[in-house]
Amino acid sequence: MHTIAKTTAAAAAAAALTLGLAGCGTDSDPAASTGKGDADAPLTVAASPVPHADILAFVKENLAEDAGLKLEIKEFTDYVLPNTATENGEVDANYFQHKPYLDDFNAKQGTHIVPVVDVHLEPLGLYSSTLKKASDLGAGDTVAVPNDTTNEGRALRLLDEHGLIELKEGAGNDATLADIADAKGLKFKELEAAALPRSLEDVDAAVVNGNYAIEADLEPSKDALALEKAEGNPYANFLAVKEGNEDDPRVEKLAKLLTSDEVKKFIEEKYRGSVVSAAGAGS
């Protein structure tokens, strides 16, 4: 097994300070240099542990050497630092997010991250440690939802589609709790996405992102009370870089490998519908 560097939640605060101080760095600064422009230098990619880092590890161990790519994987356990690290040049690319999240992040943070190629979709699901089906949710029950803009809107649409709440007419991708026209007696708790699986012991149900569900040993295709449809879903996760680095030959090699038949087969066999290849998701 190849070693994968990890940035844990415990180190996130220190890493955020370091990245903040590096925000004004240039390509000539040691902290901002990742070998850009050197086709023989390792390509460092920031990724969420599951399934992103797992997919990258498959590429590293089975495909990268033959393609002439030196691949390094740096794991992050949150949804902020991978983009900040890519913007600052601490890493060359990242793989953890979908387009609505990136658009919101760039707008709010002033970053310049752009997608390169769609790789997979993680259907968002509703889970419970006590209920057997979605219709068991009733007045007085508490549902935990992600607290970031795009994933909260995504969670609320899932609940709306299954008749558990009713959103106001015209509520868009960035719907919030204020856009609920009829909560049907449900109460809501907003939590960081990574904390949602742990909340299942304290709430009646939670809407959990696919990667965090898998990390918590939940199998979305079997355990979810309600699950997003893959067909036509706009939330494909992709490889991303800072604007201007799309033509880096190392990035182009990785993009080709991530969309190869070998990776598609790996995703299908390992995740059995809990993660779907972007080619099969119609995205």
**Are 90 and 19 spatial neighbours (Cβ–Cβ below 8 Å)?**
yes
How far apart CA 257 and CA 251 sit, in angstroms, is: 10
Q: What is the per-residue pLDDT for 283?
A: 37
DSSP SS3 for 98: strand
Q: Per the structure block, which two tokens stand in for 152? A: 């909260």
List pLDDT tens digits, range 97-153: 999 999 999 999 999 999 999 999 988 999 999 999 999 999 999 999 999 988 999
List pLDDT tens digits, range 194-244: 999 999 999 999 999 988 998 999 998 899 999 998 777 889 999 999 999
> Which residues 6+ apart lie within 8 Å of 181 measured at CB?
166, 167, 168, 169
How far apart CA 192 and CA 148 sit, in angstroms, is: 7
**Are 50 and 211 spatial neighbours (Cβ–Cβ below 8 Å)?**
yes
Burial code of 229-253, b = ≥16 C-beta within 10 A, e = fewer?
A: ebeebebbbbbbbbeebbebebbeb
Q: Which of 178, 150, 179 is nearest to 79 (CA)?
A: 150
Structural domains in the chain, CATH included, are: 5-123+233-281 (3.40.190.10), 125-227 (3.40.190.10)
* Res. 274 pLDDT band, cuts 50 70 90: confident
Q: Per the structure block, which two tokens stand in for 3? A: 């070693």
How far apart CA 117 and CA 240 sit, in angstroms, is: 7
SS3 labels along 152-196: HHHHHHHHHHCCCCEECCCCCCCCCHHHEEECCCCEEEEECHHHC
**DSSP label at 220?**
H
**Are 88 and 22 spatial neighbours (Cβ–Cβ below 8 Å)?**
yes
This prediction has a pTM of 0.72
Helix axes 249-258, 54-62, angle to 10 degrees: 100
